[in-house]
Structure 1
Amino acid sequence: MLALFTLAGLTETIFYGHTNAFTPIYLAELGLSPAQVTVWTGWTAALASAFGLLFLPLWGALADRYARQPLIVRSFVVLAAAAAGMALSGSPWAFLVARALTALALGNSGLMMTTLSEHAPTGRHGLAFSIMNGAAPVGAFVGPLLGGPLVDRLGFRSLMAVDAALLVLITLLTTFGYRDAYRGASTRPVMRMAWESLTMLGRSPQLRTLFPALFLLFGGWMMAFTYVPLAAATLYRGEDVASAVGLVMGTAGIAALIVGPLVGVAADRWGHWRIVLLGAVVALLLWPLPSLASSFQAFTALWGLLNGVVASVFAISFVLLAQSVGAEQRGRVMSFSYLPVNVGLLIGPGLGALITQRSVFAVFPAAAVLTAAGIVVLLRARRHASA
């Protein structure tokens, strides 16, 4: 099960990595000016996230009411359709609609982690979650590195066609590759359960502070992540821009791949809260540095280090959420596990579209400000957890 979920997460991350890394290049090919590309890069990411947030409570409620596996399969069907839609898009608006479709796939990672948490050995949840979430940095490493040359030679549409085929394969594997015995025992209406999922976050003092803390921590990350391709293209001198962007994103992915399991083991040994807080402080100190890079090589190294740290903190934050509620409510809460990133993709790129009018590198000190605020709220959440 761990291997299957890791493979599914890897394929999903490769697809998302491709859309994030090469959207600016494709928007330019669709006829937008450089200034328009900067604005559209932020708003395409933000609007897709906003659309998905409307449906997020429903997925967890359906999973708790009936079963988790069909909801996991649903997400990969949607992603395959979105990839096909982007491959066929011929205008910025058509591309925006196709990318917005990905929002209907939200909630799958939380459901997979809920299922995994019920099968992982006691005391190994941090390691298991780090391995599964290690698929994200691997996808971020492999996807852009392989996708960049393909975009340079065959175009973005060909890349999306390949992604669509891979996502169809994952749909089949998640349908027939494992069996989840969980069946919901509740007979309450789904919409009431969805509403209770939202109110549950507000009733719990720990969740009421933990989620806002994670919104701030990862909002800055998503803001910077959205604009890294444009920053890299600004510093790069040469042809094959897509390959250069792929190198930057790939370096960041392999850094997270190396750091993630080490942080997971450290969290299991010394405490998840302690390691999350320590990682957030390290990220705060690192955030301004990419804006000071004077060369493409320096920027690549600094972003790789920074992404490795923040991605590792992100992986361990799932353990904090999983431990915050009992088994009966865990499915609904964990369906919100990517909510900090989803909200970050709404707030971060939208804010970035405004602050990058003068310089695309302004996102990095802005991310430091959001991280500092997140640490303050995270300390409050820890006090609630200890109470």
Structure 2
Amino acid sequence: MPVWKRNLFVCWFGMFITGVGMSQIAPILPLYIKQIGIQGDGAITQFAGLAFGITFIVSAIFSPIWGIAADKYGRKPMLLRASLGMAVVIGCMGFAHNVYVLIGLRLLQGVITGYSTACTTLIATQTDKKHSGWAMGVLSTANTSGALIGPTIGGWMAEKWGMQSSFFLTGALMLIAFLTTALFVQESFTPQSKKIMRMKDVWNRLPEKSLTLTLFITLFVLTVAMYSIEPIITIYVSQLARNTNHIALIAGIAFSASGLATIIAAPRLGKLSDKVGPHKVLFGALIVAGIVFIPQAFVHNPWELAGLRFLFGLAAAGLSPSAQALMKRITPDSLTGRVFGFNMSAMYLGAFGGAVWGGQVAAWLGIQYVFYMTSALLLLNAVWVYFKVYKKLNINKLALYKN
């Protein structure tokens, strides 16, 4: 088996168990904050939002820094640093005795995070051009599939052994990721320059500046669209599913439907992007995703919503992996860590911005308007991608490949 393929499966496993661990914490965070001393729904919501969002904001700041370190010292050291660091920090969250300690640990988690970024960079630099779309598609299913089962595991453990057990399990899973990475990931890394380049120098060395900037913004918009529904889906399901006591379960099914579809479709769309070009898959997926958001505002029951979320997941499977594969093709290997670090910054900011934006739109205009506005955002992005990426690469196909 080629080294890049073995590393792909090791990274997939590491990202999968990371996804399991991270996703099982999010649903219990407000309950844990209440348990450690905060009373009142308003205060709990306020502190939960701060604890949730601060990790994304700090991660957005530090992702480019770790990207520079990855280009200087190698990707495997960054994998080991992030997995061991998160194992310790998240495990310590189970011992937090007040909300301020918890928020401080969440902030520290944002500083040391970067396992997924390092995995993406490692696979992007080791995979040959003709398999890059497939590899990125496979890798994109890892966190998604982990996130599907994480909340169920976390909820079950919280009821069985207490909420602290979820933090301890996540720490243990990250320790497993550290050990598998240390034992099985292979990297022959030689830094191409010992000199740390300034951002201006990095920018000047990028062969496709306009296209790179377009992809950064596209990844930001995609993540905003993904996370805009996060704050409202449970409330929306409760409005649709009247006279039922299983709101959380039904909301979980509706939320997981898109993730399940992404797992099914991502490798297939990745192979398609290798054949026809990632720019074509990206453009088509943006149009489909934008259209599928509209009828979600008109559903009459949760199962219609789950079905449409599944269709959205099929389209979403062609979004981020195609953008990542395209970014890999136009970026010199010596700059991949830095560029993918900024990629992750755009996505972290999108996750935070999408959650805040979706909640505010729902509060001021109504839940249906979240779907309308997210659809408009994706379709406008599709128009922009058509002129900035699709037409350009159809005219000059050589721009797809870095020298």
Normalised-by-shorter TM-score class? 0.7 to 0.9
The aligned residue for residue 68 of structure 1 is 75
How has the CA–CA distance of structure 1 residues 254 and 199 changed in structure 2, closer, same or farther, with 3 Å as cutoff?
A: same
Q: By how many angstroms is 1:243 displaced?
A: 4.6
Correspondence 1:282 to 2:288: yes
Q: By how many angstroms is 1:150 displaced?
A: 2.9
1:253-284 deviation line (CA, Å, top 9, x unaligned): 22211121222122222221111111111111
Indicate the larger mover: 4-13 or 142-151: 142-151
The aligned residue for residue 172 of structure 1 is 179
The aligned residue for residue 312 of structure 1 is 318
CA distance in 2, matches of 1:114, 1:360: 37
Partner amino acid, structure 2, of 1:363: V
Kept in 1: contact 2:65–2:341 (CA 8 A): no
SS state at 1:252 partner: helix
How has the CA–CA distance of structure 1 residues 87 and 124 changed in structure 2, closer, same or farther, with 3 Å as cutoff?
A: same
CA distance in 1, matches of 2:297, 2:97: 34
The aligned residue for residue 9 of structure 1 is 15
1:197-224 deviation line (CA, Å, top 9, x unaligned): 5676798121122211221222121222
Partner amino acid, structure 2, of 1:151: A
The aligned residue for residue 218 of structure 2 is 213
Kept in 1: contact 2:59–2:111 (CA 8 A): yes
Kept in 1: contact 2:58–2:107 (CA 8 A): yes
Kept in 2: contact 1:21–1:246 (CA 8 A): no
Kept in 2: contact 1:78–1:101 (CA 8 A): no
CA distance in 2, matches of 1:90, 1:243: 30
How has the CA–CA distance of structure 1 residues 81 and 246 changed in structure 2, closer, same or farther, with 3 Å as cutoff?
A: farther
Q: What is the 5 A alignment of 1:229-248? A: 229-232=234-237, 238=244, 243-248=249-254
Indicate the larger mover: 202-211 or 48-57: 202-211
Q: What is the 5 A alignment of 1:290-309? A: 290-309=296-315
1:318-367 deviation line (CA, Å, top 9, x unaligned): 10110122222222212333233212023222323432325456433332
Indicate the larger mover: 196-205 or 249-258: 196-205
SS state at 1:225 partner: coil
Instruction: Select 2:233's aligned residue among 222, 228, 238.
Output: 228
Correspondence 1:334 to 2:340: yes
How has the CA–CA distance of structure 1 residues 289 and 68 changed in structure 2, closer, same or farther, with 3 Å as cutoff?
A: same
CA distance in 1, matches of 2:48, 2:384: 29
How has the CA–CA distance of structure 1 residues 185 and 199 changed in structure 2, closer, same or farther, with 3 Å as cutoff?
A: closer
The aligned residue for residue 255 of structure 1 is 261
Correspondence 1:81 to 2:88: yes
How has the CA–CA distance of structure 1 residues 278 and 90 changed in structure 2, closer, same or farther, with 3 Å as cutoff?
A: farther
**Could you list the runs of 5+ residues in structure 2 that have no partner in the other structure?**
1-6, 397-403
The aligned residue for residue 134 of structure 1 is 141
SS state at 1:187 partner: coil
User: Higher Cα Rg: structure 1 or 2?
Assistant: 2
CA distance in 1, matches of 2:372, 2:206: 30
Indicate the larger mover: 218-227 or 170-179: 218-227
TM-score by length of 1: 0.86
The percent identity for this pair of structures is 19
How has the CA–CA distance of structure 1 residues 93 and 166 changed in structure 2, closer, same or farther, with 3 Å as cutoff?
A: same
Q: By how many angstroms is 1:43 displaced?
A: 4.4
Q: By how many angstroms is 1:165 displaced?
A: 0.8
TM-score by length of 2: 0.83
Kept in 2: contact 1:137–1:252 (CA 8 A): no
Instruction: Select 2:118's aligned residue among 107, 111, 116.
Output: 111
CA distance in 2, matches of 1:227, 1:155: 26
CA distance in 1, matches of 2:253, 2:380: 31
SS state at 2:269 partner: helix
SS state at 2:335 partner: helix
CA distance in 2, matches of 1:197, 1:307: 35
Alpha carbon RMSD of aligned pairs, Å? 3.0
Of the two structures, which has the highest relative contact order with CA contacts closer than 8 Å and spacing of 6 or more?
A: 1
